Amino acid sequence: MSAAIDDFLAMLAAERGAAANTLAAYRRDLEGAEQLVGQLDTISSERLGKVAKAWAEFAPSTIARKSSALRQFFSFLVDEGHRNDDPSHALPRPLPRRPLPKILSHAEVDQLFSRAESDAGTNSPARVRMLVLLELLYGSGLRATELVSLPVSAVPRDAPFLTVTGKGGQARMVPVSNRAKQAISKWLALSGGNSGYLFPSGKGHLTRIRLYQLLKELAVRAELDPSKVSPHVLRHAFATHLLEGGADLRVLQTMLGHADIATTQIYTHVDSARLVSLVNERHPLAERGTSD
């Protein structure tokens, strides 16, 4: 494979702070393209255009991602003086529609919490842990990986915040409700607090796969369709319900750890009715009434 790919990935890691998973995804896309059409650092635009046929069976979103990786790579080669031309104009340009996130209603979230709180009332460590996981997914909007890998040191003492390390190693502070703090205290007392992780398992921490399984099991006990419940769906519910309650989009961006506010804006679709009502009721022109 091209040594230029290694140089490009090193740049992403050093200058953009790209996470390991992101770097691995870029490598797969770039090396996969090289297997299809040959060395990318010397390829012609005519040869590069052949990837469109090879990618024909992929979803538009997949093609867009692969094309984006290649465009960034060729831009890097030009910037570094490794190429005088950028052949990326030959790449396909699909226009994928970003799917809207799955959303849980307030009633469905209430069902989950009612079941989790009832289960935790037995003082079973596993059930108390489940309540804490649910509190932090829906109450703080954490990603699955962020949640399962939380160190005990991230738990707040006096301040109502958790310090979370998100994508790209970026740290941020997220709010923790009083009820979540109470559940965490109960869990720490039951778990013994002998691990460096808030949710220890074996020699490490709870896995993302196990977190998914636990949520599905909770959904079944709460008499909800388990296919509707996942860590990401609860993160979506956190964002959606905050926006419905009047949260500022920039504040929401910070809490979710989004680098680009365009990512956060997807949640605005859920509140279109409220926004229309807000304009009709609060806009200065609303007081002027309508003309006959």
| 110 and 231 fall within a common domain | yes
pLDDT of residue 121: 92
Q: CATH no. for residue 131?
A: 1.10.443.10
- Cα–Cα distance measured from residue 171 to residue 166, given in angstroms and rounded to the nearest whole number: 6
pLDDT digits (tens, 9 = 90+) for 85-120: 999 899 887 765 555 566 788 899 999 999 999 999
117 domain residue, yes or no: yes
Residue 133's domain comprises 106-275
pLDDT of residue 72: 92
pLDDT of residue 289: 55
| 149 and 228 fall within a common domain | yes
| 113 and 258 fall within a common domain | yes
217 domain residue, yes or no: yes
Last residue of a domain, one of 65, 90, 115: 90
- Cα–Cα distance measured from residue 98 to residue 65, given in angstroms and rounded to the nearest whole number: 12
pLDDT of residue 132: 95
Q: Do 159 and 181 meet the contact criterion of CB atoms below 8 Å apart?
A: no
| 72 and 119 fall within a common domain | no
Q: CATH no. for residue 17?
A: 1.10.150.130
Last residue of a domain, one of 66, 90, 114: 90
pLDDT values of the chain reduced to their tens digit, one per residue, 292 residues: 578 899 999 998 888 788 888 899 999 999 999 999 888 888 999 999 888 888 988 888 788 889 989 999 999 999 988 889 999 899 887 765 555 566 788 899 999 999 999 999 999 999 999 999 999 999 888 889 889 999 988 887 776 878 787 776 777 888 888 888 899 989 999 987 678 899 999 889 999 999 999 999 999 999 999 999 999 899 888 888 887 777 777 777 777 877 666 667 666 655 555 555 556 666 666 565 554 4
| 52 and 130 fall within a common domain | no
| 210 and 135 fall within a common domain | yes
DSSP assignment string, the chain: --HHHHHHHHHHHHHS---HHHHHHHHHHHHHHHHHH--TTT--HHHHTTHHHHTTTS-HHHHHHHHHHHHHHHHHHHHTTS-SS-GGGGS----PPPPPPP---HHHHHHHHHHHHHHHTTT-HHHHHHHHHHHHHHHH---HHHHHT-BGGGS-SSSSEEEEE-GGG-EEEEE--HHHHHHHHHHHHHH-S-SSBSSEETTEE--HHHHHHHHHHHHHHTTS-GGG--HHHHHHHHHHHHHHTT--HHHHHHHHT-SSHHHHGGGGGGGHHHHHHHHHHHSGGGGG----
| 37 and 137 fall within a common domain | no
Which positions ≥6 away from 104 have C-beta within 8 Å? 112, 228, 229, 233, 234, 236, 237
76 domain residue, yes or no: yes
Q: Give the residue numbers marked as catalytic.
A: 143, 167, 232, 235, 258, 267
| 46 and 126 fall within a common domain | no
227 domain residue, yes or no: yes
Last residue of a domain, one of 90, 117, 140: 90
285 domain residue, yes or no: no
- Among residues 95, 39, 38, which one has the least CA distance to residue 67? 95
- Cα–Cα distance measured from residue 59 to residue 183, given in angstroms and rounded to the nearest whole number: 43
| 111 and 189 fall within a common domain | yes
288 domain residue, yes or no: no
| 45 and 171 fall within a common domain | no
Number of domains in the chain: 2
114 domain residue, yes or no: yes
| 29 and 165 fall within a common domain | no
Q: Letter for the amino acid at 226? A: P
| 36 and 153 fall within a common domain | no
Indicate yes or no: pTM above 0.75.
Answer: no
97 domain residue, yes or no: no
pLDDT of residue 109: 93
- Rounded to 5 degrees, φ, ψ at 89 are -65, -20
User: What six digits make up the tokens of 119?
Assistant: 């289960």
